[in-house]
Amino acid sequence: MIAARSVSLTIRGRTILAPSDLALRPGTVTALVGPNGAGKSTLLKILSGEIRPGSGEVAVDGTDIRAIAPAALARLRAVLPQSGDVAFAFTVDEVVRIGLAPGIPRATANEIVRRALAAVDLADRAAQLSPTLSGGEQQRAHLARVLAQLWSSGRGDACLLLDEPTASLDLAHQLLVLKLAQAQAAAGGAVLAVLHDLNLAAMAADRVVVMSRGRIVADGTPAQVITREMLGAVYGVSLGVERRGNRVFVLPAGMEAA
């Protein structure tokens, strides 16, 4: 489990993240939502150990993240950033291999890469140069790299942190990514995904955390959190919200400023 306690970040006098607590629960998918500039990516980067908070601490399985060596941390959590530009003309196969844990047998490595590419629907692109892929295909190649990291880590319950993983994908591949996130949760991992599509969040997540102006302002099940009142207060729009059983939907018809 990854847990942030009272983490905050201030840059040049501007509060990017107010003191916040967030614990990612094993076996669940948490969607982190909110407007642009709300602090979502900052919080994810603090949870991953990429940046240090100005105050507070992050613990992984009870250990301060600052005390965990990078190689050990890579076995406990995997991160898919918003963008993953490749500076050199690597093939897709080579990009995926970057995620592999060191020292695993070649046959095992080859099988993991094959599975990861198949999982993201790029099995036929292994030999293609990564820069020649479309934006969405490149994003999926990096997701395959993250899967290779997870599957070669020796920890089936490793945490998975995804920053806007569906941003440049078509609908079919958005659903594919969310199914992979749910599969990692089903294996015992804690999953956090920054999402902008509230309907995707409601469909895939067990828990929705809403951020606004650097603060966590709501935390609960999709049905508890995604309401007309929240949309008006946080996003400044008036949208319909419909419920069917335990499911909740945001309706675009009749959109107007709140």
**For the segment 14-43, what is each residue's pLDDT rounded down to a tens digit?**
999 999 999 999 999 999 999 999 999 999
pLDDT at 84 over 80: no
Q: What is the pLDDT of residues 185-206, one digit of tens each?
A: 999 999 999 999 999 999 999 9
Residue type, position 56, single letter: G
User: Distance between the two ends of the chain, CA-based, in angstroms?
Assistant: 38
| In contact, 207 and 31? CB cutoff 8 Å | yes
As a whole-number percent, the residues of the chain with pLDDT over 90 amount to 86
| In contact, 97 and 127? CB cutoff 8 Å | no
Q: What is the pLDDT of residues 220-236, one digit of tens each?
A: 999 999 999 999 999 99
pLDDT of the residue at 115: 97
Q: Please, what is the average pLDDT of the chain?
A: 93
As a whole-number percent, the residues of the chain with pLDDT over 70 amount to 96
pLDDT of the residue at 155: 82
Provide the β-strand partners of residue 34. none
Residue type, position 192, single letter: L
pLDDT of the residue at 257: 47
Instruction: Look up residue 187 and give its two tokens.
Output: 């294996």
pLDDT interval class at 73 (50, 70, 90): very high
Domains of the chain: 2-257 (3.40.50.300)
